[in-house]
Structure 1
């Protein structure tokens, strides 16, 4: 998969003209944030790069389903948070419409499935099949993320089908931070919740990812890859900005570091990104290869000057 993804990125970037400035109409780049800290972090990186190049980032906070409809309908241009295979049905819809380019796989090594805290593991829960025998300890609740998220839909479908005997359990939907606050408050009480990497929760909480959920979340504990999508018309009209997004590839340690600054230190996403970029100029060279400012000047030099100041 990695070889194929790399080949696809090379083919795409080769097709995009080097040192080709975009039209003034490309000056505002619209993208969305579903309220997940990992996407907030990568969106922040994109925002710093775009602003340094003379573009204006316009980030809308939209739930996953609404965000995909916005991309499909032309209200946004780019989305950095296409988690696969969890969001396969949204991709199927976009692919059927024929209006979307997959610019790159921007992250590998991610995972996303149900997990329990230390108290849950000590109760003997290590697999989806262990949950129902411990229903009372968990108060019959599974803590999810924001309403409409594909992972929540998978949990609700599991409950509706009475899989693993969970038919009388309840899905509690809330935002990421509310869910994690609940887990933190319940340090001595078993809690089952959605967990994923990259995320600093993996350092802050003693987490046990549950086996047995391959049919619901995919193999390897919900092993996932994250992709950057963009509207075909936008890619054709704004090849310089599209080239930038096609070359922005992250890794789990980098995202963990950014997310930790946002969640633990209270840093603004752009401030965290600016600090990381100043400390990692090699990333700027790779991401800005062949990319210019909006008015056609060398892009890497402009970004380095902006983050150094």
Structure 2
């Protein structure tokens, strides 16, 4: 398959920017996407699911690890993915781009960051930089707390340990899911602890976090400064332009995601319930997301979503 060029992608996205003239065909009714188990993507998936449902589509969200999720997108088992964190997932993105079958619909978030951090006890011990860690190995029990196995950030930590960067060759990466990692950090409140931290996330409000400098080579500059992108299969975009148009206009911000993630993590809300509540409180966002978008059967999309969420 021919690799999708920047020009081709631009032409496709410009076509999406045109007013919708007709509904999608019935076989576009189910929209398949994946969730890596990260609360930020669970939150944005919740928003997408509520919007799609209100428009008459059926969202089908599979819980898949990052590597498996990318394989599913590449192999046509899913249609789109809202969680392409860059540059942390550059290798996965390169693999997808090489197939020529994937298009980026939009950068859906800016201002994100993702790198190692320490809790207050770690900062009080004098750790503010990657290079400070090994001098305090015993206080940290030689452990770095990461997220689920296979995640790109964990791979970066593994590579750092294997290369003995910053003298961390005899440290251990403890791999677990996001919530298990944060539960461990919470239990370790009085113990120096180094862990993966990121924004947006309500952990930044609940835990006194010091993001570590010095990790530019491992996580990128500006404390792992990141953007998040929405990817989709080229064939799906061409076959289902109305749904793709919605996704191309679905852009978030850090404060919004912090609120949504707090509802999910701290209040125990279902992601779609949290998204519905947020949209009812912020109806002004709906117009930009739904500009030119119809329901699956061709009726005005904004009115359908407003009726569904109470905006």
Does TM, normalized by the shorter one, top 0.5? yes
TM-score (norm 1): 0.96
Moved over 4 A (4+): 8-13
Query: Which structure 2 segments of 5+ residues have no match?
Result: 1-7
Q: Does 1:157 align with 2:170?
A: no
| Mapped contact 2:9–2:103 kept (Cα < 8 A) | no
What is the deviation of 1:10? Answer: 8.3
What is the deviation of 1:9? Answer: 9.7
* Cα RMSD for the two superposed structures: 1.4
1:115 equivalent in structure 2 = 117
| Mapped contact 2:107–2:229 kept (Cα < 8 A) | yes
Q: Which residue, 62, 82, 85 being the options, matches 2:84? A: 82
2:288 equivalent in structure 1 = 286
1:220 equivalent in structure 2 = 222
Question: 1:7-18 maps to which residues of 2 (within 5 A)?
Answer: 12-16=12-16, 17-18=18-19
Q: Does 1:54 align with 2:79?
A: no
| Mapped contact 1:12–1:103 kept (Cα < 8 A) | no
Secondary structure of residue in 1 paired with 2:261: helix
User: Partners in 1 of 2:113 and 2:234 — Cα distance?
Assistant: 28
| Mapped contact 1:12–1:246 kept (Cα < 8 A) | no
| Mapped contact 1:104–1:227 kept (Cα < 8 A) | yes
- Give CA-to-partner distance per residue, 1:181-230, whole Å, 9 cap, x none: 00000000000000000000000000000000000000000000000000
1:103 equivalent in structure 2 = 105
Q: Which residue, 257, 260, 263 being the options, matches 2:259? A: 257
Larger mean CA deviation between 16-25 and 64-73 belongs to: 16-25
2:29 equivalent in structure 1 = 27
| Mapped contact 1:9–1:246 kept (Cα < 8 A) | no
1:304 equivalent in structure 2 = 306
User: Partners in 2 of 1:13 and 1:204 — Cα distance?
Assistant: 39
Query: Which structure 1 segments of 5+ residues have no match?
Result: 1-7
What is the deviation of 1:12? Answer: 4.8
- Give CA-to-partner distance per residue, 1:72-123, whole Å, 9 cap, x none: 0000001000000000000000011111000000000000000000000000
1:133 equivalent in structure 2 = 135
What is the deviation of 1:231? Answer: 0.2
| Mapped contact 2:145–2:175 kept (Cα < 8 A) | yes
- Give CA-to-partner distance per residue, 1:137-158, whole Å, 9 cap, x none: 0000000000000000000000
What is the deviation of 1:14? Answer: 3.1
What is the deviation of 1:18? Answer: 2.1
User: Partners in 2 of 1:251 and 1:177 — Cα distance?
Assistant: 22
